[in-house]
Amino acid sequence: MIPTAIRYLIEGAHQAPSADNSQPWSFAWDGHTLTVRYLNNGPGAAVFGSDSHCEQLTMGAVIENLVQLADSIGMTGDWDSQRQGTNYLRFSPDSVNVEKALDRAHTVFTRHTNRFSFLKQLLTESVIESIEGLAENDCAVVIYRDANDIAALSHLIRDASSMRFRNRQLHEWFGETLRFSPEQVARGNGLDVRTIELPPGGSALLHLIKDWRRMAFLNRLGMYRVLSQIESQAANKSPAFVAVLCPPDEAVMAGRLMERVWLNLERLGLSAQPYYVLSDQLVRLEKGQLPEGLLAEGRQLSKQARGFFGGESFPHMLLRVGYANKPAPRSRRLPLDSVIETAPSPP
């Protein structure tokens, strides 16, 4: 039997963001220790894995949710974040009996992605100061508001997106995550197309291009240019971008800081959309995972990114930030019991 307070922590951790809502995690309680581990159980296994930059970001966000919730209810204990195999965290609480109310209005539970357009309202100086002040150790949070900076970021996103739309592995992963019907959405994972701001006929277009054979044919006609330009235009209309900059090997800390920023934005009444495509292409270039035909573009993208962010800092995540123009549907989650194990798994 899982104590109520421990189940509460798991519920909050289960709300963390992940690549196209893939939710690659599991939780185990053995009566003394809560263990959090990466769960390699979906179509993303061939695209991302426990050692991937993307999943380290995700697990960092899971850890941040747990830490914030435990702090909010006054639960203390031994936190062991030394990664062992697929195990990312062990938390042994001093006591599972807490006197504070379990607040499900906490921003851990209300944070979500908003892919719709934002108002033109600018961020206030007090908002800027509160976000930039979240930097930790060698990780920094930088907010870009200048029109030239946002234009430069949108160009980087365009070029990275252009590469992604020509990468069969990434495109097939994207197609597998799309959820069109209520029955598909009810599965609790994947990317609900209602959460994407699509033009008329946009859903039908996604249906058409999810098959790589069609996409490959349309790419010969320049489809990747059209789609990447659409992403670039949406980014260019953003009132601000937040970048999480850390040394390249600090992906878990970057994930924690990303989530901390995102939760703080939620508290301040702002919305955010993550743009991971730039980081993903840069990581794939570094690890030799880009197709041969995209290597030259990858090198050029890396050169441009270093020039913009500085050679010592790696852009682990970009967040498009602003005030929501309209509410965005929330992504579903897998049933909680499906991600809870009866005992911790060995490393």
Residues 277 and 160 in one domain: yes
In a domain, 46, yes or no: yes
Residues 163 and 306 in one domain: yes
Cβ atoms 123, 143 nearer than 8 A: yes
Tally the C-alpha atoms within 13 A of residue 320's C-alpha that lie toward its C-beta: 28
Residues 208 and 337 in one domain: no
In a domain, 205, yes or no: yes
In this prediction, residue 44 carries a pLDDT of: 56
Residues 36 and 60 in one domain: yes
pLDDT band at 42 (very low <50, low <70, confident <90, very high): low
In a domain, 346, yes or no: no
Task: Return d(Cα 310, Cα 1) in angstroms, integer.
Answer: 50
Residues 131 and 153 in one domain: yes
When the pLDDT of each residue in the chain is averaged and rounded to a whole number, the result is: 93
Residues 74 and 99 in one domain: yes
Among 79-83, 204-208, 338-342, the minimum mean pLDDT is found in 338-342
Q: Is the pLDDT of residue 346 over 90?
A: no
| pTM of the model as a whole | 0.95
In this prediction, residue 99 carries a pLDDT of: 87
Residues 62 and 106 in one domain: yes
Nearest Cα residue to 179 out of 332, 6, 18: 332
In this prediction, residue 49 carries a pLDDT of: 76
Q: Is the pLDDT of residue 41 over 80?
A: no
Once rounded to an integer, what is the mean pLDDT over residues 154-168? Answer: 98
Task: Return d(Cα 235, Cα 117) in angstroms, integer.
Answer: 9
Q: Is the pLDDT of residue 62 over 90?
A: yes
Question: Domain count of the chain?
Answer: 2
In a domain, 118, yes or no: no
Q: Is the pLDDT of residue 47 over 90?
A: no
CATH number at residue 86: 3.40.109.30
In this prediction, residue 347 carries a pLDDT of: 54
Q: What is the pLDDT of residues 196-227, one digit of tens each?
A: 999 899 999 999 999 999 999 999 999 999 99
Task: Return d(Cα 227, Cα 263) in angstroms, integer.
Answer: 30
Residues 209 and 87 in one domain: no
Q: What is the pLDDT of residues 251-285, one digit of tens each?
A: 999 999 999 999 999 999 999 999 999 999 999 99
Nearest Cα residue to 188 out of 64, 328, 330: 330
Residues 130 and 94 in one domain: no
In a domain, 117, yes or no: no
In this prediction, residue 43 carries a pLDDT of: 55
User: What are the residues facing 185 on neighbouring strands?
Assistant: none
Q: Structural domain of residue 222, as residue ranges?
A: 125-322
Percent of the chain whose pLDDT exceeds 90: 88
CATH number at residue 207: 3.40.109
Which DSSP helix (H) or strand (E) runs through 245? strand 240-246
Residues 44 and 146 in one domain: no
Once rounded to an integer, what is the mean pLDDT over residues 278-299? Answer: 97
